[in-house]
Structure 1
């Protein structure tokens, strides 16, 4: 109890500043609980990143954990992290600023703003559809992009990686998260203002918000560096209508297409609390800015590890503390319990734990753990995790197919054949299983 009382009075204690005091607010108890959780459990030990929680301007908790795996530097409050797709918020704000100034409308098309755009099929896509990921455009990430990404010097250099691709669906028909679409938005900004994308951001977002440790961005779909402090400044400026007016703020944080996304803002309802912001993730990169509609709460988590290497665990537990549990949160935490049980006590105990939890785990997360083991050369452990995935999803074809693939790589051909066949029983159109079985049968 004494420790809890001290925590309420002295939130956000940094390793280098044990006596720093922070103000009491409606969120103080929850912020204290987060601090105690991170400082007293494996969550903090396994986290390599920085957390900032504030009530408007008042910082309730900020602390850094771990180190950067590349340069071994200890993480600090002022550490710069790659923001990945969090940069989409800046692109969307820029577009809405231009709308406020009468420089464009959301109904205008690519063809109207960029008449020389090379793909005529895409010229009918509107600004609104680009902002909301309902354009039909896809992505630019590919093996070719990975090989040539160092040659990208400006936004136009991204075009060859996607501009000739056919649309994946009719614009406005549905949602498909599109990095390519946000590159096009960046090109629109440059065309309209006659400046580079980063020049515009500096003059119209970073400087007005006093973000002195952000940018330049790698592109208008994301990438580039920032800090938790700068992202708090951005949140304050955005919430305070210093970057866009109140009407535009509501426009950006409204789910226009019932797809969980506004304009450059991810939207979610956690037990009646409306959350907006954006995350970013890639190998060695993870982070998120959470803001609350109608409240001054700001939560920022950033890490220089991949999402499932400590960051997702911290972010999820913080959300549970502030907004309560949800089926998605419980499913995530169940997955973590099963994996930890496997790591500590082995397969049989993990299988029992999975049964106790009603086989309620996230397939994607379990598969990521299996992949990690496989990349470390621990194929038997990877196979064990996939067997647990099969236990959790016995009526789905893909866990059997994944398991068979890993068994095949480990030389367990007979077991692989059984699971490929089981996959085909559930999905006769699984072409990969059909091809693999042909090869395996021919080798007998």
Structure 2
């Protein structure tokens, strides 16, 4: 009999990856140390990184402060708000309930929410895959929710009353509101609060002792403080009522618990191997390679390999959880700063596991003399158009109607954003050396988006 991992890889149809020498644990630790040091100021807010192959932890380290004001450093076992990584738990619970016959993913969601005016075309699967058309904001201004526990029934009433953003099943557009509706479905079917259902059906059976609804009034040992950057200055994060997102983003966890969660999920211990494949399968064709979404899980590409997981961002915190099926490897990044690019650091760590690390860029440099050849406007579509400009020794990239973003050049002349988020523009020149196009590599991955240079008037 084939192992569950072999079955999973077959079900997921993981494409054969290029053959690269599997890096040693020593090499992974060395490169991970360098990437973490480049990303985190040890005296500011910080991050925890965990890398594992199978059940074996290869790297687990923290850098920065858990409490900047008190000078308390982070440790790898501390608890963070994980924001939208919560959606992977919500989706798994619904897929598990479907396997038990408690719900049908392709049935109208209104079957379980008969008391609200939800469009009857919307299914549970569409809510899970962000294809339901549920709007994020009320069409008319509404009184804000207070600081106490926000009643789920009031949220559901307001969400269901909003006009649809698009026809259900036709577009993928990220919707926290859709996942809040799923909290009401869970409560209706199970007869428990959504957090109690998660605790009894997921957290307790999987021994996720540090994963829970992060109620603000609870004293939680090891929970870190959250921060934000304001024009380059570290600030305490703005207050936020964590009861608002509920199943869309109200959980806390630790790096070790998230490893245990992804291992259980990917190995079929939560929803079976077919259930995990269903969660990982993109819901709509034609979605960009770095935006494909299944049921509570993204399916990205890192160095040509599939990467399955989720990211999260909420006041004071940013997070990323990646699983690489071809490597049977898990990467966790938890940061206590909502402006930190947890996904970029997780991608770096994933590339290290694969054996093809992304190069680390110098923080400052002198522009070469021929950098002025890059100045111009590229692309004809307003959604993708970029303007490259140089002022003094600074190069910037801007979109129409937006503030220019600082950038820098690497050793090959490619344009990278600052701070580095892995995306870059590769100049393409004609036979005479003139820059005629910029090829944009989103998150450092192909295929590139070709942006032709617009002729100067």
- Normalised by the shorter chain, which TM-score bucket? 0.5 to 0.7
Q: How big is each residue's C-alpha offset from its partner over 1:340-379, in whole Å with a ceiling of 9 and x where there is no partner?
A: 43xxx7xxx4697976989999x99xx9xxxxxxxxxxxx
Residue matched to 2:109: 110
Which of 205, 212, 216 pairs up with 1:215? 212
Structure 1 residue 300 displacement after superposition: 0.2
| CA shift in 2, pair 1:132/1:359, >3 Å | farther
Secondary structure of the structure 2 residue equivalent to 1:64: strand
Farther-moved stretch of structure 1 (313-322 vs 102-111): 313-322
Residue matched to 1:131: 128
Which of 235, 251, 259 pairs up with 1:232? 259
Secondary structure of the structure 2 residue equivalent to 1:256: coil
CA distance in structure 1 between the partners assigned to 2:254 and 2:374 by the alignment: 38
- Contact persistence 1:265–1:277 (CA under 8 A): yes
Residue matched to 1:90: 89
Structure 1 residue 400 displacement after superposition: 6.7
Residue matched to 1:274: 306
Farther-moved stretch of structure 1 (147-156 vs 171-180): 147-156
- Contact persistence 1:251–1:262 (CA under 8 A): yes
Residue matched to 2:328: 296
Residue matched to 2:346: 315
1:265 and 2:297 matched: yes
**More strand by proportion, 1 or 2?**
2
Residue matched to 1:55: 53
Q: How big is each residue's C-alpha offset from its partner over 1:318-339, in whole Å with a ceiling of 9 and x where there is no partner?
A: 234234779xx78xx7xx76xx
Residue matched to 2:221: none
1:79 and 2:111 matched: no
- Contact persistence 2:317–2:338 (CA under 8 A): yes
**More helix by proportion, 1 or 2?**
1
| CA shift in 2, pair 1:313/1:249, >3 Å | closer
1:397 and 2:400 matched: yes
1:243 and 2:273 matched: no
Secondary structure of the structure 1 residue equivalent to 2:32: helix
| CA shift in 2, pair 1:113/1:321, >3 Å | same
Structure 1 residue 87 displacement after superposition: 0.1
Residue matched to 2:62: 64
Q: How big is each residue's C-alpha offset from its partner over 1:37-66, in whole Å with a ceiling of 9 and x where there is no partner?
A: 147646464760111111122111101111
TM-score where L is the length of structure 1: 0.67
| CA shift in 2, pair 1:251/1:149, >3 Å | farther
| CA shift in 2, pair 1:114/1:302, >3 Å | same
Farther-moved stretch of structure 1 (232-241 vs 175-184): 232-241
CA distance in structure 2 between the partners assigned to 1:167 and 1:282 by the alignment: 25
Structure 1 residue 149 displacement after superposition: 4.9
1:199 and 2:193 matched: no
CA distance in structure 1 between the partners assigned to 2:156 and 2:391 by the alignment: 42
CA distance in structure 1 between the partners assigned to 2:142 and 2:256 by the alignment: 32
Instruction: Identify the structure with bigger relative contact order (alpha carbons < 8 Å, sequence gap 6+).
Output: 2
Q: How big is each residue's C-alpha offset from its partner over 1:148-173, in whole Å with a ceiling of 9 and x where there is no partner?
A: 25233443243355332210000011
Mark the runs of 5 or more structure 2 residues left unpaired by the alignment: 1-21, 215-242, 407-457
- Contact persistence 1:85–1:222 (CA under 8 A): yes
CA distance in structure 2 between the partners assigned to 1:313 and 1:353 by the alignment: 29
Which of 153, 176, 179 pairs up with 1:179? 176
Secondary structure of the structure 2 residue equivalent to 1:298: strand
Mark the runs of 5 or more structure 1 residues left unpaired by the alignment: 1-24, 368-382, 404-444
CA distance in structure 2 between the partners assigned to 1:26 and 1:400 by the alignment: 41
Q: How big is each residue's C-alpha offset from its partner over 1:226-271, in whole Å with a ceiling of 9 and x where there is no partner?
A: 1001101101111221111111111111113133001000111223
Structure 1 residue 27 displacement after superposition: 5.5
Structure 1 residue 146 displacement after superposition: 10
| CA shift in 2, pair 1:27/1:231, >3 Å | farther
| CA shift in 2, pair 1:102/1:64, >3 Å | same
State the number of aligned residues: 339
- Contact persistence 2:77–2:255 (CA under 8 A): yes
| CA shift in 2, pair 1:354/1:285, >3 Å | farther
1:164 and 2:161 matched: yes
Farther-moved stretch of structure 1 (29-38 vs 351-360): 351-360
| CA shift in 2, pair 1:397/1:239, >3 Å | closer
| CA shift in 2, pair 1:191/1:271, >3 Å | same
CA distance in structure 1 between the partners assigned to 2:270 and 2:253 by the alignment: 18
1:190 and 2:221 matched: no
Which of 316, 324, 328 pairs up with 1:284? 316
